[in-house]
Amino acid sequence: MSEQRNLGTVCIQGGYQPKNGEARILPICQSTTFKYESSDAMGRLFDLEDTGYFYTRLQNPTNDAVAAKICELEGGTAAMLTSSGQAANFYAIFNICEKGGHVVCSAPIYGGTFNLFNVTLRKLGLDFTFVDPDAPEEELAKAFQPNTKAVFAETISNPSLVVLDIEKFARLAHSHGVPLILDNTFATPINCRPFEWGADIVTHSTTKYMDGHAMTVGGCIVDSGNFDWMAHAEKFPGLTTPDESYHGIVYAERFGKLAYIEKATAQLMRDLGSIQSPHNAFLLNIGLETLHLRMKKHCENALAVAEYLVGNDKVAWVNYSGLKDNKYYELAKKYMPNGSCGVISFGLKGGRDIAIKFMDHLKLAAIVTHVADARTSVLHPASHTHRQLSEEQLIESGVQPDLIRFSVGIEDAEDIIADIEQALNF
Ligand SMILES: *Cc1c(COP(=O)(O)O)cnc(C)c1O
């Protein structure tokens, strides 16, 4: 699609355009394989000479339609679905950074991504420097090394809710000849389109707001097509020198702006196989159809809950970028003028023990690991997702020991607030 459409229209109609007499609704192509008339036709697909489907591990029409919708929502040039957000971030990095490579990474990020980078990818020989995203540019520049291949951050960090200064990070990355990869899970393209601010590649855990119903684990990678791999050819040999496993194809030469996603599909997905099932992609697509409506409601409700908490004297602190005195209010206003996300965090007077008592008395809000879906949910990271971390490590990753992560759903705000009130008064 080359014409510019508004995001609500893309949510409903993006990715799949039925032709005369075809199904109005995106069909689930529940087939592992695809038939060809001649051996030669099949051979040409394997040589990447022709485009076409041959095996669902590489590509599937249902998945491609959903990836194309997310691609259009982000304003990118190419996209692929993955089995999870973890797989998306792994592929996004590993596609351009191999053994001996280094990544500059914002420190406050999702715990699962932190473990992936800091433990598992280190075992594969990658190196990471974690930086304070609020540090001045001169300070952040010191983190770069000759072997740095990318900068990674989250638009809004989970669970610490740090809003990234995207332009600052894009400038830093580009002045060091590397792309900026942003995990845009919490903001979604409805509230923030990072490519418009200079990011090069965007990743998603579609498990969260995109699916929105807590039904399917999934991920997505979108490429803006703006990063010029050939201009920094020596840094990215995987894209700019022949791929022995694909008859010596040079991705950046053959595929131009599509090179990054072509390589991630033809090489990483072929070898590692973290595909999204077409059935899950179908469910994800149903979620995407209401993303623009849900994000608006999530943000309205989150602001109402945050304002209620600020006015309650049992509450020690509240973190939500929609509050005027929040550290990130101005950045959020710049990058996300229509609202940031539905997740807020707060602490109660009395600390950790009171937080647990409060959570146990909630009725409408459920204690679940999940976040960012239609139902209000709550989590105490220090006791749950970040349980293995020491108090020191907790504070380093931006998670105070008393922090309650409250994912405000799209129920009626008055009922969510009434539930909080009764649990606070217990
Ligand atoms: C949940 C999450 C992930 C991991 O996604 P999964 O789909 O759970 O694998 C990555 N990044 C962010 C910001 C997340 O919230």
Locus of tokens 């791929």? 243
Nearest to 166 by CA among 187, 142, 139: 187
- For residue 422, how far is its CA from the centre of ligand 1 (angstroms)? 31
Phi and psi, residue 109, nearest 5°: -135, 170
Q: State the pLDDT confidence band at 1, using cuts at 50, 70 and 90.
A: very low
Q: Would you list the DSSP string of 231-259?
A: GGGGG-HHHHS-BGGGTTB-HHHHHGGGH
Q: What is the pTM of this model?
A: 0.96
How would residue 3 be classed by pLDDT, with cut points 50, 70 and 90? Answer: low
Kindly give the distance from the C-alpha atom of residue 262 to the centroid of ligand 1, in angstroms, as a whole number: 23
Q: What is the mean pLDDT of the chain?
A: 95
Position 306 pLDDT exceeds 60: yes
Start-end of H helices in 116-227: 122-123, 137-141, 166-175, 188-191
**Range scoring the smallest mean pLDDT among 64-73, 244-253, 386-395:** 386-395
Q: pLDDT tens digits, residue range 30-81?
A: 999 999 989 898 888 887 788 889 899 999 999 999 999 999 999 999 999 9
Distance CA 92, CA 268 (A): 10
Sheet holding 148-154, edge to edge: 78-82, 219-223, 201-205, 180-183, 148-154, 102-106, 127-131
Residue 396 above 90 pLDDT? no
C-beta of 154 in contact with ligand 1 (< 6 A): yes
Element (H, E) at 113: helix 111-115
* Ligand 1 within 6 A of CB of 205: yes
271 Cβ neighbours under 8 A, 6+ residues apart: 245
Give the single-character DSSP code of 365: S
319 in contact with ligand 1, CB cutoff 6 A: no
pLDDT digits (tens, 9 = 90+) for 359-385: 999 999 999 988 999 999 999 988 887
Closest residue to atom 5 of ligand 1, CA basis: 85
Q: Tell me, what's the pLDDT at 138?
A: 97
